[in-house]
């Protein structure tokens, strides 16, 4: 027994009227649950829309160039009712690139495809306009790049932001020409990437990168190259805070919420962002002039470890929530990340990110800023150290902090004051009520 069912665009967060850049099925095709049906593109990401049902495609109701929103009809599907699997939230298979969200990317993201090195095409190589979205064209204009000279490597000849960035990098390398001494006028003199046959030296194993790493790798490379990173380090005495945290957990019993240091860090970070609003901003432009967009909301991302790589879920309106609610939302988002059920709305809109490795170890690291944010806080494991109290050495729990910041927006003095303010709150959490 079978019936005809309509498949619609599921919840895709705040996105509306997204253009269809590729239709992946046709009438007569057999699809399974979570098979991609089409690809949408926003100014933040390319995303595959998966099927929420299994069956045979009867009719396709969309074509390339159409604009879709949540609830738009995609196709009709002949579904076997007696063997119908339970519907799954289709939004869980989406992923945003970290170009805008922070996301830093997610379990079960769509495979956008391996990016090939961009090459320069002659300006008159083709009279046809390149297939680039408005956001990519705007990005190219900001960098002074003629899109007709960029080789597109995306699906169906679609131009990616990564193609524009690689064009710029190649242009920087080509600035160095014979007859000019290297190292002058800001020119780069880079050797080509080494190509090595590693099997010549011993046994090897080829392991495919996870989808998360394929997507996030390009974003991290862009962020590291395009943002002038500087990292400030600080240490804070959290002896009293840790005692308070343990006391709360003991009072709550086994069934109560378990307070984590991350929740206190997130809450203290928001109080510090209110005192230093430039760190809660993003760079933008208005009529070709750079501006600073200072946000009046506080959506904090946190790095969550999953079997397939790191993802960055976002807790919204942290300034309006208590520690217990932050703990609960962190646990729920981390669970969704491990299960591969984070949707675009779970990873978008972040204004600041906390990346904590305290549960793993380490004494410090330089976190990469999650564009378009302008700063990120890195935290490693707290350790007991002997500290001088004016009369004797006493054991104290010391937490290392690392703040990476965008030098185009803030400077070293502001970063130092930011960390001092944050450290003061963590050392005496009562100050957060002031």
- What are φ and ψ of residue 426, in 5° steps? -70, -35
pLDDT of residue 89: 44
Using CA atoms, how far residue 119 sits from 133, 152, 175, 223, in Å, is 19, 9, 15, 21
How far apart, in whole angstroms, are the C-alpha atoms of residue 118 and residue 132? Answer: 14
How far apart, in whole angstroms, are the C-alpha atoms of residue 222 and residue 146? Answer: 19
Q: Quick one: how far is CA 356 from the chain centroid?
A: 15
pLDDT of residue 131: 75
pLDDT of residue 97: 37
pLDDT of residue 300: 98
Residue from 184, 229, 299, 407 carrying the catalytic annotation: 407
pLDDT of residue 185: 45
pLDDT of residue 269: 98
The model's pLDDT over 288-331, given as tens digits with 9 standing for 90+, comes to 788 999 999 999 999 998 888 888 999 999 999 999 999 999 99
**Edge-to-edge strand order for the sheet containing 67-68?**
46-50, 36-41, 18-23, 67-68
* Residues 109/219, Cβ–Cβ less than 8 Å: no
Range list of H helices, 306-376:
323-339, 344-347
pLDDT in tens, the chain (434 residues): 889 999 999 987 777 888 888 888 899 999 988 888 988 876 555 677 889 999 999 999 999 889 999 899 999 999 988 654 444 444 434 433 333 333 333 333 333 433 333 334 444 433 445 677 766 776 787 677 888 888 888 776 778 888 888 888 777 665 544 444 444 444 555 677 788 999 999 999 999 888 788 878 888 888 988 899 999 999 999 999 999 999 999 987 777 889 999 999 999 999 999 999 999 999 998 887 889 999 999 999 999 988 888 889 999 999 999 999 999 999 999 999 988 888 888 999 999 999 999 888 888 999 999 999 999 999 999 999 999 989 999 999 999 999 999 999 999 999 999 999 999 999 999 999 88
How far apart, in whole angstroms, are the C-alpha atoms of residue 198 and residue 308? Answer: 25
The model's pLDDT over 380-414, given as tens digits with 9 standing for 90+, comes to 999 999 999 899 999 999 999 999 999 999 999 99
In this prediction the pTM is: 0.61
Does residue 229 have an active-site annotation? Answer: no
- What are φ and ψ of residue 216, in 5° steps? -70, -30
Q: What dihedral do alpha carbons 108, 354, 169, 207 form, nearest 10°? A: -40
């Amino acid at each position: 027994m079978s019936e005809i069912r309509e498949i619609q665009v599921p919840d895709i967060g705040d996105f509306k009227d997204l253009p269809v850049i590729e239709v992946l099925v046709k009438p007569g095709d057999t699809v399974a649950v979570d098979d991609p049906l089409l690809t949408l593109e926003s100014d933040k990401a390319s995303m595959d829309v998966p099927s929420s049902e299994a069956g045979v495609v009867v009719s396709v109701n969309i074509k390339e160039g159409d604009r879709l929103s949540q609830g738009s009809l995609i196709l009709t599907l002949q579904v076997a009712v007696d063997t119908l699997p339970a519907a799954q939230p289709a939004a869980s298979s989406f992923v945003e690139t970290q170009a805008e969200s922070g996301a830093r990317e997610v379990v079960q993201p769509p495979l956008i495809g391996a990016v090939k090195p961009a090459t320069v095409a002659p300006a008159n190589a083709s009279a046809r306009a390149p297939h680039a979205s408005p956001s990519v064209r705007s990005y190219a204009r900001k960098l002074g790049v003629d899109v007709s000279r960029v080789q597109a490597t995306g699906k169906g000849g679609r131009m990616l932001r990564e193609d524009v960035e690689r064009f710029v990098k190649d242009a920087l390398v080509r600035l160095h020409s014979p007859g000019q001494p290297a190292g002058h006028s800001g020119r780069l003199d880079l050797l080509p990437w080494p190509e090595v046959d590693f099997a010549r030296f011993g046994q090897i194993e080829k392991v495919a990168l996870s989808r998360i790493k394929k997507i996030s790798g390009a974003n991290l490379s862009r962020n590291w190259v395009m943002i002038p990173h500087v990292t400030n380090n600080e240490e804070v005495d959290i002896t009293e805070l840790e005692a308070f945290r343990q006391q709360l957990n003991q009072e709550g019993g086994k069934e109560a919420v378990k307070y984590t240091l991350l929740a206190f860090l997130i809450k203290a970070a928001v109080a510090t962002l209110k005192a230093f609003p430039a760190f809660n901003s993003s760079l933008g432009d208005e009529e070709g002039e750079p501006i600073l967009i200072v946000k009046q909301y506080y959506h904090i991302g946190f790095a969550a470890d999953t079997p397939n790589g790191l993802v960055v879920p976002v807790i919204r309106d942290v300034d309006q929530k208590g520690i217990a609610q932050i703990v609960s939302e962190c646990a729920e988002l981390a669970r969704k990340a491990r299960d591969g059920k984070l949707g675009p709305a779970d990873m978008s809109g972040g204004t600041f990110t906390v990346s904590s490795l305290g549960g793993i170890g380490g004494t410090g690291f330089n976190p990469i800023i999650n564009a378009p944010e302008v700063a990120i806080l890195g935290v490693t494991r707290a350790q007991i150290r002997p500290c001088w109290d004016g009369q004797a050495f006493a054991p104290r729990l010391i937490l290392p902090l690392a703040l990476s910041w965008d030098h185009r927006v803030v400077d070293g003095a502001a970063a130092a004051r930011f960390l001092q303010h944050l450290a003061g709150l963590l050392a005496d959490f009562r100050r957060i009520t002031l």
